[in-house]
Structure 1
C-alpha cells in the first residue's frame, strides 16, 4: 500500500494560517488572527492602512498619558494610597494597558515578515510621532 501523499494534497490538508519566516513582498499573510488573511494586493493595501492607523493611535495614547501626567498636581502631601486609588491613576493604568496591547499587536504584525506591513507599522508610528510626539512644555 502506498502511503505517499503528494505536495498538492499536503497543501489541501493543511489549510491553517500561512506564516513566512523571512522578509517577503508577496501579499500572502495571516495577520494576528486566523480570519485576517491577506490574499491580494488590495487586501494588503487595506491591511497596511489599518496598521498605519493603529500606529498613529498608539502615539495618541502615549501623548494622552503624558498630558494626564503633566496635569496631575505634584502634591507630595497626598498619601501613596490616595494617589494609587485616584481616578486619574486608574485612567492612566487603563491607557497603559491599551498602549501595551497596541504595542505588542504592532510588534506581532511586524513579525509577519511582510515588508509592506513592517513599513506600515513604522510609517504609522512615525506619522503619530510627528503629530503627537513633540515635547509640549
Structure 2
C-alpha cells in the first residue's frame, strides 16, 4: 500500500509561518502570535509603530513604579503583613507584573530577528527613556 500526500497537503505545509534564524530585512514575519502576520511593507510600518509605542509604555511603567516608591510613606511601626497587603504594595506588584510582561514581549519581538522590529524596540525604549528615564521628582 502506497502512502502519498496530496498536493493540497503539500501546499498547506509550505504555507506555515517561517521562523528566521538570522537578522533579515524581509517584510514577511509572524510576531508573537500566529494571527499577527506581517505581509507587506505597510504592515511592517504599523507593527514597528506599535512595538515602539510598547517600548515607550514600558518606560512609563518603570517611571510610575519609581514615583510610587519614592512617594510611599515608610512606616516602620506597621507589621510586615500590613505592609505586604497595603494598597500601594499591591499597585506596585501589579505594575511590576505588567513591566515584566512587556519586557518579555519586547524581548520575544526582538528575537524575530527582523532588523526593523528590533530597531523599533530599541527606538521605543530610547524615546521612553528620554521622556521618563531618571525623572522621578
Give CA deviations for 1:101-130 in whole Å, capped at 9, x if unaligned.
000000000000000000000000000000
Aligned-pair CA distance for 1:14: 3.6
SS at match of 1:77: coil
TM-score for the superposition, normalised by structure 2: 0.90
The Cα shift of 1:25 comes to: 0.4
C-alpha distance after superposition, 1:10-35 (max 9, x if no partner): 45424322210100001010000000
2: CA distance between counterparts of 1:24 and 1:5?
Answer: 33
- Aligned-partner Cα distance in 2 for 1:18–1:120: 21
Give the deviation of 1:76 after TM superposition: 1.4
User: What residue is the counterpart of 1:121 in the other structure?
Assistant: 121
| Residue segments in structure 1 that go unaligned for 5+ positions in a row | none
TM-score, with normalisation over the residues of structure 1?
A: 0.90
SS state at 1:26 partner: coil
* Structure 2, unaligned runs of 5 or more: none
Structure 1 segments (4+ residues) deviating >3 Å? 1-6, 9-12
CA RMSD of aligned residues (A): 2.1
Aligned counterpart, 1:78: 78
